Structure 1
Amino acid sequence: MNEMDDLKRAELIAQARDRETGASRIHMQELLWQRQQEFESLAEHLPDIVVRFDRDVRHVYVNAAVERLTGLPREAFIGKTHFEIPLPREKAELFDRCMREVFETGRPNTIEFSFDTPAGERFFEAQHIPEFGSNGEVVTALCVGHDITERKRAQDALRDSEERFRQLAENIDQVFWVNTLAIDNNMYVSPAYEKIWGKTRESLRRDPNNWAESIHPDDLPRVRDAAKGIARGFQLDIEYRIVRPDGTLRWIRDRSYPMKSGDGTPLACGIAEDITDSKIAEQERLTHAMDQRDALVREVHHRIKNSLQGVAGLLRQKIRKYPAIAPGIEEAIAQLQSVALVYGLQETRPDGLITLAEIIDEVCASAEGLTGGRVERTLQRKTTRPACVAGSEAVSVAVALNELVFNALKHQSGAAKKRARVTLLESKGVAEIRIVNRGHLPKGFDYAEGRAVGHGLGLVRTLLAAPGGSVAFNGGRNEVEVVLKLHLPLLAGRQNATAGEGRHGGE
């Protein structure tokens, strides 16, 4: 009896346990179904493609994005491998291999691939993700693919742009460079640097300032000042000289512009080009033009000099006969005499150099003789040697000075005695001549613009148009001051200590 009771009791317990297990199983199935519904609900609304595979790498789920991408219904995928759906062979092999790797290793992997869709070729980044069972084995795996077509095209466009830039930068004759301002580092320097500077780009990587060591010492301070402007974000355009390792000198034009990198880092980029040939050609053109001018001036005035005495005598006869034209004749005689004095002085100099003081003395004496006026001359010298006029420029300077001094005496209407003061101030490399007389400037006078200057001052503007000279007029109430400044190349590059110093007083 007891044994029967025990058996019955055990049977009842077993039945209870079976009912409990069945209920638990049903509950678990309900939870799994619920989770599956949640997964599919989420996956169906994602723009990314989502596919689930079983261990035989068969499709067990595809979301709506797959249908939109391929134009095929999901039934065309379910239960099939990659080789059983319309895919190119190489794509099927790639997808199958990557998915089997997930099942074998239990680790995710990522690939990029292109896919021909009804709308055209698209690019995707696909992540293959393992899904583990209760025993720790991979039971299913997901493929989540994100459309990266726009990003890929942007990357390709950037890469193409960078390649075009590289081809351009590495094949132009100019040096293209990019610097980071904060740490003074050369981000990029094109290969032309090695040709122009005669140094390797590796030397710049070792020392970003190595390029500046080649700059001519006379130009280096100016370039350093310009570099400070680059650091403050200014656009610059500067010319300077460099000395290459082989000792040759080259002229450089360097233009720079501020810019910023993608992350906002301040940068400077620029183009440095070798302009030596154009500099040489420019100098040759200038020299040729000056030679032509000098040849013309010398030839014309040489002929004038040979007949000056006769012409002057005839002109003076005309003055006595026709007093009304005396001012014009006197001006012409003064110009002729200024030319003659230059040639007369140069003939006594082995090097052809004439001191500025000598020219002023002769010009003033000539003007006094023609006008009957008086010119007070003063010399103030701050150098040990007198300023000399460059041999090729002596005629131009003498004629210009003659016009200025002659005008200072001539244009003093109503003055009982025509007087003027000429002061010569000499300092290193510069000579300043101040000519002062009573009178006033004509109405509308503008020397710089050439308005109301007359023939004489028009000649002065022409003669002193070359570099090395400047003229300014200052008009007071009853006084006019002319300031003539001379420097290289109108003044000689060296000074002759033995040349005559003229009859100036008040040194």
Structure 2
Amino acid sequence: MFSLTDGALLYVSAAYDAMWGRDGARLAEAPGDWIASVHADDRAALLQRWEGLREHGAYDEEYRVAQPDGAMRWVRDRAFVVKDAMDQPYRIARITSDISGRKAMESRLRAADENKNDFLATLAHELRNPLSPIRTAVELLGRAGPDAVSVQGKARAVIIRQVDHLTRLVDDLLDVARISEGKLTLRQEAVELDGVLKAALETATPGLQARHHAIEVTAPAQPLWVWGDAVRLAQSIGNLLHNAAKFTSPNGAVRLVVDVVADGMVHITVHDNGIGISAENLPRIFDMFAQGAFAPDRAHDGLGIGLSLVSTLVTMHGGRLTASSPGIGLGSAFTIALPLMPAPAAATPASAPSAAGLQGAGSALSILLVDDNVDSAEMMRDLLVALGHTVELAHDGASALALAALRTPNVMILDIGLPDMDGAELARRLRALPALAHTRLVAHTGYGAPHDREKTSEAGFDFHLVKPVAMADLQAALRAT
């Protein structure tokens, strides 16, 4: 509290010492000394408000205070003139509160909001990119003559490649959501690394070939075993290969190198001669939504979640992911380090699932397809007919029950989100009919989380296919291969 008559300091709280990082007792000797700690950018405006306090009667300001060690603390400073019985001002009272925590939270919220907006804009961009060639390819197919085999083949290849890209985007988004909710689980077992590498290369090769990159693989001849989830490990290595293809200008070189190191670890490294990573971006390259430099023909490509996802998956396997780069334009290397395990005892190869109870396995099947999306149902029907099967359609559960009882199909492919009943409920009702005891039930749905698969399994489904389904998975479910 200050006196307006002589400017003397009448009282200062003991909290001043911690808030200002100065001795409050010394403030009595120099009442104006507090202003020296105010951040230089805030000082002039605050002095103006302080000097105009007698005229205006009060102020409420937020500003920064510099600590002796250079740290900054945010405060809210409220000052008002105290008047006597004659309504004459004679003192100034001040209440100063530490609001550093609130300001830090506001800063994080603003950053999160900016990240959200950037992410949504990037997501829209990434979704439009594959949708554009898909639509163009469809238009081309409609205009190409029946004899334009090469045009048709090229259009189909474009559509398949872009749908695969969309599927990868959706899968990454779902994985990030599961990780944030602590719901991502691994199905770990002894895994031979060669099979993981082949699966990763299979998924990444189309992207590498599309950009005309040379791919070189170097790995030890002896089998290497790790304890892990083969699908997630292949996904992680595939993501690194996909990134190398994406962030390397066309006609580049990508190397996949596997090394056994002395500490019982195996290093799986993806090298490229692409755009590289700047020194300032390298420490945050695994942060969610991080975007570094980009290839000249692939501006801001990707959602910025792939490397964060790979880092999390590798850590869940007891390994680590590291990145290195000499700098912009000089390429980069990403290394997955995993602990090796001894080769397991020879295991009996798993026998192929029995086809007993499935009439027509490996030949023409009678199929009942149930989907309320008419376009999706008709396209799938036409594909199944092209594969040599007989197909009937139903668009709701009640119609499906009636047709199934009448036709007794070999296979029923069911959507889960039907208008009149849940697909799982429909499956339970179908299983209750003795005539359908041996009918194969295949869930064909956009829901692909582990609990979704558990739900369909409990309802009596034999297969769970996630839209958009790959041809190999569809044929495996039909047993037509």
Shared fold (TM-score, shorter chain, > 0.5): no
Question: Higher Cα Rg: structure 1 or 2?
Answer: 1
Higher strand proportion: 1
TM-score when normalising by structure 2: 0.29
